[in-house]
Structure 1
Amino acid sequence: MSNTPFSRFEWMIAWRYLRARKAEGGVSTMTWISLIGITLAVAALIITLAVRTGFRTEFVDTILGANGHVSVYSAGEFKENGQIDRAITDFDGWAENIRAVEGVTRAAPVVKGQVMANHIDANAGVQVFGMRLDDFRTLPRIADPETAQGSLENYDDGIAIGAGVARDLGLTLGEKIRLISPNGVKTAFGVSPRINVYDVTYIFSAGRYDIDSTRVYLPLAEAQSFFNKEGSVDEIEIMVDDPEAIDRYVPLVLAAAGEGALSWTWQDSAGAFLRALEIEDNVMFIILSVLVLIASMNIVSGLIMLVKNKGRDIGILRTMGLTEGSVLRVFFLCGSLTGVVGTIAGVILGCLFAIYIDPIFAAVNYLSGGGVWDASVRGIYALPAELQLGDVLSAVALSLGLSFVVTIFPARRAARMNPVEALRYE
């Protein structure tokens, strides 16, 4: 009898055992349980990895698309009253020098302030960003005609507000919004609140609930006047070619800005959340890996039953000249084939779920009566999923590796079975 590893004869025996009925001593029911368990475990792992990747990508994209990758501001000087004055007066010079740095794609002078927004009886706290129209156009997530209402050409004639602000205040294009700042007009009797009214000329959606619900944009000159910062800005908002490598640009940008410049990167502001997300991802991968291991252990149960039921067959095959290695490979094939088929089915199911997650989630939301995804808690408006080859391959490697390893032990038991003992009571 041929001793060639994984010969056609061994494949034939393994396939016959796998499809044998229970009445014939087979374990088809246990095989199906193992197959379904591995399929669901692998699918769950791939879906989790895809959602994890999609969530991080969406979160980072909304940060990078609606904010500067690094902000440069002044260390400031102490005034006579003991306060620090951080105003940047030569902001156009700073911006021009920073734009000359290789890799910098945008350097925009910005005025920032927090005020109260009012429309009829509705009020909301908002953060005002003052910048020029040309700089406003270069914000990918903000100046996006596909998700926005209104025209950028009217930016200098009024105010641009987030979709959440418009929703909370009940505003539409062309209506008026009132901004109220407690640090307003300086008079002989002190500082009185400044109240200005603006026409809503643009409504944007950045894809992030917190940004859309708190942010508005004014033309730079109007923002300087509103916050009593004529001739100065608070910071220079910068974008670069490779935001993930922002640390490489920071020294160059600070050198271009000059002495007294400080920086604050997007990783500084979102780093804690991203680190927490990474830890959560690792924990979820470990938990789901345990599920795959549990599903793989069903293969062991099925093979142990198969070896017990096929003791007579093993004895006969051994007396016919089948080696221990051949017997081991036959039962290894029985177990590993279950793992392979289950893994393939799990990959298909997981990929299909990730690809069609939007209609699936919409159906779940409809059947549950809505409210499954709360954007105010999650931060983004939908559950994203992004398939990556590396994630799929890691799930496949884990499933196949565990399936192959756990199969070896019952297969070795079958190979070491004494043919005399196996046939003694037959």
Structure 2
Amino acid sequence: MQKAGSTGPFSRFEWMIAWRYLRARRAEGGVSTMTWISLIGITLAVAALIITLAVRTGFRNEFVDTILGSNAHVTVYSAGTIDANGNMNRTIEDYRGWSERIAAVDGVTRAAPLVKGQVMASGRDGAAGVEVYGIEKADLMTIPRVAVRPDMALGDLARFDEGIAIGSGVARELGVGIGDRLKLISPEGAKTAFGTSPRVSSYEVVYIFTAGRYDIDRTRVYLPFSDAQVYFNRDGVADEIEVMVEDPDGVDDITINMMMAAGDGALIWTWRDSAGSFLRALTIEDNVMFVILSIVVLIASMNIVSGLVMLVKNKGRDIGILRTIGVTEASVLRIFFLCGALTGVIGTLMGVALGVLFVVNIDGIFAVVNFFSGGGVWDPSIRGIYELPAELRAWDIAKSVMLSLGLSFFITIFPARRAARMNPVEALRYE
């Protein structure tokens, strides 16, 4: 028969003793209450970490998707020239040529000339400032968040040449719908002998879109390109070229080619230039949140130490007997290490299950919270997007699991070593 002292690491009897200690009632010298506290603490900490990482990932992806899905990946505009009156003119006269040459660059999917301007829009319920984009219908129909979302839109985009397309926020604020007429008022109108008179034009609303970004839906209006040229006094010119590329993340690799294709006087502004500071701030915030929640996991794991210290104290007699019958220090260390490790493993698995369950049902949970709080939990005018997104990634779950298990295993070593080094004579002296 094999002796206890000669058994291999993490043998069956070590697992049996560790499991029995974890299940022991307090009357039997166990610390089941502390075990439950440790389990609950680790479960909640791991769940909080997974939920936070999922929400941060979902928010970032949704935010970037709304940028790339409704805005130009690259904007090409003119450096400008000084006219005879000393005014800076940044319009592009050869906008057709610029668009064709840029569209021919490898990696570019579309290059569309735009006319842009800020005006006052007037509807049945009042007036509001809007940003008008003059664009061809064929180009508008390639914008993912505007045209390729029929479930999030009203009206018929095929009739765009007959009217105007507006964001759902504009329609809601001005109280207009499909078939209503929207009045655009620009202070830079026709020049007369008495000065510049405001330009007022009325257009039928033929399409209402929802891009998913509050600031876009609240301010953006699309007007047929030729109508916008007339309205903004841009006859024969465009303000900029809107460019879409195959790989937005690699846009910096082709900006030089686009500038060379456009020709002299062309300048480039990419989506990273416009949103880069915000994305960098999100990255910093993600890292800070991970560090803070890692500390929460560490604090939860420290409960294991408290439970093991009490367990070692209560099981001093058992340790003395085990050592007397030949169990080695290493075996005792492994027994109490298993006690703490099992708590960490079970708590981590429960935390993963709770976190994943929360993320999967996050819309329903927030609906309930929103109902009991009277609404306003998630304000799109502040957050920018309409709902709290969450996206589970295997790497985020793996990071949470590795962090929790690593901390649980590490801090368990110290009370386990204390148990292993207990002198059996001292442990049994008063027994």
- Whole-angstrom distance in 2 between the partners of 1:249 and 1:165: 35
- Whole-angstrom distance in 1 between the partners of 2:104 and 2:276: 28
For residues 216-242 of structure 1, the C-alpha deviation after alignment (integer angstroms, 9 at most, x for no partner) is 000000000000001110111001111
Residue 173 (str. 1) matches residue 178 (str. 2): yes
Q: How far is the alpha carbon of 1:188 from its aligned partner?
A: 2.8
Residue 153 (str. 1) matches residue 127 (str. 2): no
Residue 96 (str. 1) matches residue 139 (str. 2): no
SS of corresponding position for 1:135: helix
Partner of 2:44: 40
Question: Which residue identity does 1:207 align to in structure 2?
Answer: G
Question: Which residue identity does 1:364 align to in structure 2?
Answer: V
Kindly report which structure 2 residues correspond to 1:196-235, keeping only aligned pairs within 5 A, or say none.
Answer: 196-235=201-240
**Aligned partner (choices 300, 305, 308) of residue 300 of structure 1:** 305
SS of corresponding position for 2:86: coil
- Whole-angstrom distance in 2 between the partners of 1:63 and 1:346: 34
- Whole-angstrom distance in 1 between the partners of 2:180 and 2:211: 21
- Whole-angstrom distance in 2 between the partners of 1:130 and 1:119: 20
For residues 281-312 of structure 1, the C-alpha deviation after alignment (integer angstroms, 9 at most, x for no partner) is 11111111111000000000000000000000
- Whole-angstrom distance in 2 between the partners of 1:103 and 1:354: 36
- Whole-angstrom distance in 1 between the partners of 2:264 and 2:320: 87
Contact 1:186–1:192 (Cα < 8 Å) also in 2: yes
Partner of 2:33: 29
**Aligned partner (choices 404, 407, 419) of residue 409 of structure 2:** 404
Partner of 1:134: 138
For residues 47-74 of structure 1, the C-alpha deviation after alignment (integer angstroms, 9 at most, x for no partner) is 0000000000000000000001010001
List, as ranges, runs of 4+ consecutive aligned residues in structure 1 with deviation greater than 6 Å: none
- Whole-angstrom distance in 1 between the partners of 2:253 and 2:88: 29
Question: Which residue identity does 2:406 align to in structure 1?
Answer: G
Q: What's the TM-score once normalised by structure 2's chain length?
A: 0.98
Contact 1:162–1:212 (Cα < 8 Å) also in 2: yes
Q: How far is the alpha carbon of 1:275 from its aligned partner?
A: 1.2
Kindly report which structure 2 residues correspond to 1:233-248, keeping only aligned pairs within 5 A, or say none.
Answer: 233-248=238-253
RMSD over aligned CA atoms reads: 0.8
Contact 1:179–1:196 (Cα < 8 Å) also in 2: yes
Question: Which residue identity does 1:229 align to in structure 2?
Answer: R
**Aligned partner (choices 55, 64, 73) of residue 68 of structure 2:** 64
Kindly report which structure 2 residues correspond to 1:73-88, keeping only aligned pairs within 5 A, or say none.
Answer: 73-88=77-92
Partner of 2:267: 262
Q: How far is the alpha carbon of 1:190 from its aligned partner?
A: 2.4
Residue 383 (str. 1) matches residue 393 (str. 2): no
Residue 50 (str. 1) matches residue 48 (str. 2): no
Residue 15 (str. 1) matches residue 22 (str. 2): no
Partner of 2:375: 370
- Whole-angstrom distance in 1 between the partners of 2:192 and 2:138: 35
Q: What's the TM-score once normalised by structure 1's chain length?
A: 0.99
Residue 192 (str. 1) matches residue 197 (str. 2): yes
- Whole-angstrom distance in 2 between the partners of 1:116 and 1:197: 12
Mark the runs of 5 or more structure 2 residues left unpaired by the alignment: none
- Whole-angstrom distance in 2 between the partners of 1:328 and 1:292: 24
Number of residue-to-residue matches in the alignment: 426
Question: Which residue identity does 2:86 align to in structure 1?
Answer: G
Distance 1:10 1:82, change over 3 A: same
- Whole-angstrom distance in 2 between the partners of 1:404 and 1:112: 60
- Whole-angstrom distance in 2 between the partners of 1:82 and 1:425: 102
**Aligned partner (choices 339, 361, 364) of residue 359 of structure 1:** 364
Q: How far is the alpha carbon of 1:121 from its aligned partner?
A: 5.1
- Whole-angstrom distance in 1 between the partners of 2:369 and 2:261: 53
Distance 1:329 1:121, change over 3 A: closer
For residues 242-274 of structure 1, the C-alpha deviation after alignment (integer angstroms, 9 at most, x for no partner) is 111111121111111111100111111111111
- Whole-angstrom distance in 1 between the partners of 2:154 and 2:249: 31
Mark the runs of 5 or more structure 1 residues left unpaired by the alignment: none
SS of corresponding position for 1:263: strand
SS of corresponding position for 1:142: helix
Contact 2:124–2:176 (Cα < 8 Å) also in 1: no
Residue 3 (str. 1) matches residue 7 (str. 2): yes
Partner of 1:334: 339
For residues 310-348 of structure 1, the C-alpha deviation after alignment (integer angstroms, 9 at most, x for no partner) is 000000000111000000000000000000000000001
Contact 2:125–2:175 (Cα < 8 Å) also in 1: no
Q: How far is the alpha carbon of 1:414 from its aligned partner?
A: 0.3
SS of corresponding position for 2:76: strand
Identity of aligned residues (%): 70
Question: Which residue identity does 1:93 align to in structure 2?
Answer: G
Contact 1:3–1:323 (Cα < 8 Å) also in 2: no
SS of corresponding position for 1:184: coil
Q: How far is the alpha carbon of 1:3 from its aligned partner?
A: 2.7
